[in-house]
Amino acid sequence: MTRLVEQHQSANTLRFSTCGSVDDGKSTLIGRLLHDCKAAFEDQLAAAKRLTNNESVRAAGEEIDFSLLTDGLMAEREQGITIDVAYRYFSTPRRKFIIADTPGHEQYTRNMATGASTASLALILIDARKGVLTQTRRHAFITSLLGIRHCVVCVNKMDLVDYSQQVFDEIVSEFSDFATRLNVPDLEFVPLSALKGDNVVEQSTRMPWYVGKPLLRLLEDVHTGSDRNLIDFRYAVQYVIRPDLDYRGYAGSVASGIVRKGDEVMVLPSRKKTRIARIDTFDGELEEAYPPMSVSLCLEDELDVSRGDMIVHPRNQPHVTRHFEAMVVWLGERKLRVGGNYWVKHTTQSVRAKIESLRYVVDVNTLSRDPEAQGLELNGIGRVVISTVRPLYVDAYRDNRSTGSFVLIDLLTNATVGAGMLIERQPEDELPSAIAEWHDEVDAPKETSSADLVGSEERAARLRQKPVTLWLTGLPASGKREVAHALDRLLFEAGHFAHVLDGRAVRGGLSHDLGFSPGDRAEHLRRVSAVAKTLNDAGLITIASFVSPTRVIRSRARELIGEQRFLEVHVASPLEWSEARDRAGTYERARSGELLHVPGVNAPYEAPTSPAIVLRPDESGFEAAAKALLSLLAEGGFLRGPDSP
């Protein structure tokens, strides 16, 4: 007895969910598993036997409707469908199981997504008589979106097709073709009869052509240990524990990674660093914690930490952003509105958010994308762009299911209307779409012939200068900012009017909602280009100081501002010199892995091919470089003397 108890306690747990269309036999399969594994209580079996009135069950020689072991609601038993998610627990000598029996009806897709959100494996049931249906495809696609890496397709009701291998093979072929476009690395197929028990717990003698494992053996053997993220430490603070004056702990659960006593950690958003003093649980102090443990962390230093903050390792941080893209499963009766405002519930914080755009809607049958869709209907799946009023600490969903997921909540009804999975956009996918949105001729403002408007030429004549944008590009900390402000001073003293667009200032205001991913950087520079053009239209000389690492972005800036008004300046200070004078620590944080997309370290920098001038402030100094730019403007006819016409 002692050995059995120890074996049970040491067995790991597998959480799995059932998916598929209505009447595919999900509840019956779970009931059969519970029955054959001796996991159903006697009173449950007795009650199910009394309530069994299903003619098909009795015609099959069975005395119990196994679906009654999971379908507990009266409405479920009356209609013979699953409405709410039913959780059941059982174990074998090799493993413990937590089952989420989810509904197959399209109306209750939201419940299916809820039940599958915490699962490591999905059972997708298919009625052998009906084959792959629309709801089957929808559930399979949602399973893929939810990051479930292990999937077992159960072709059920094989007894109703005379255990035909041909029927099974046709379904396997059709589903496999569909699954090639999904991210499901571990896919298995099992022919079975939940009602008869074929291939559920024991190998069926009525399908000798199937040489694979029965379902229970597959569930016992599947390896899920490598699915858990033990690298990126993420700990969202849920509650501050303060029982007395001598104790302050921060309660929460470890979403991913491992934390040990004495580890250096950083608190977001303050970015204050400290160390772990204690890791406490109800049962006592621990030396380390890992997911999904719920613990209380005590810090060595007295820091301002509250609910919604996140504790991470300093050299492995999430993205801090107010602007992100996600795949959303829409669960609301009223369709998603582009421009609409919602609550975003992410980890332990809730923030106001706005749907900026709907990139496309997915057709679950073909997985084709409709970029012209005007909204997202109930049970629809689409890719959206979202901005929030406060930064979130996020990872891509494929890397971290906890910090990569969120729910959308209606502001008025407080109802959950959407479930989202964050996308980590790749530079090659992100940049073209971002720069393609810079300018649309259809939306360009029309020229007016009104004599009341002051034209740009009139302004230039009054200011005695030709408007131009000097676009200073180079590596971070290469001296662009210092040269730009030195030139601004020289122009001012010479009686000219200029304005500096500096990366730091613009980031803190105009682009405060953007990060540093390739797409966000492209949108940031689109805004800068639009402002530079506006300043030029006002007759001013614009000095833009930005890394702007790619040629294509600088080319689009030239197009937006105008060929005759754009001078590209390469501040070509070498990487070693730039890194040595980097007071912001950008290079150091990039080399440690804390920052991504830093040109010169973990992202490319494309030098201009034919700049108007190349500056080397590392050799000549900032003042000399600024004077060289002043001479360039004078020689180009952009500066007029006091006696010029």
pLDDT at 568: 95
pLDDT at 608: 93
Indicate if the pLDDT at residue 621 is higher than 70: yes
pLDDT at 137: 86
pTM greater than 0.75 (yes/no): no
What is the percentage of the chain residues whose pLDDT exceeds 90? 38
Indicate if the pLDDT at residue 89 is higher than 70: yes
**pLDDT, average across residues 187-211:** 91
Average pLDDT, the chain: 82
Determine how many CB atoms are found less than 10 A away from the CB of residue 160: 16
Common-topology check for domains 234-312 and 458-635: no
CATH number of 319-424: 2.40.30.10
219 vs 193, 208, 531, 610, CA distance in Å?
A: 17, 21, 59, 62
Pairwise CA distance, residues 596 & 592, whole Å:
10
pLDDT in tens, 500-519: 998 888 887 888 767 676 77
**pLDDT, average across residues 1-26:** 66
Contact 399, 229 (CB under 8 A): yes
CATH number of 2-227: 3.40.50.300
Contact 605, 579 (CB under 8 A): no
430 vs 39, 116, 605, CA distance in Å?
A: 50, 29, 17
Pairwise CA distance, residues 540 & 463, whole Å:
8
pLDDT at 635: 92
What architecture is domain 234-312? Beta Barrel (2.40)
Pairing mode of beta strands 369-370, 349-362: antiparallel
Question: Angle CA(40)–CA(222)–CA(68) in degrees, nearest 5?
Answer: 25
Question: Could you state, in order of their start, the residue ranges of all structural domains in the chain?
Answer: 2-227, 234-312, 319-424, 458-635
pLDDT in tens, 91-147: 888 889 888 877 655 655 666 776 777 788 888 899 999 999 888 888 888 888 788
pLDDT at 4: 42
pLDDT at 79: 42
164 against 333, higher pLDDT: 164
Multiple choice CATH, 458-635, 3.20.20.150, 3.90.1200.10, 3.40.50.300, 3.40.50.2300: 3.40.50.300
Contact 216, 37 (CB under 8 A): yes
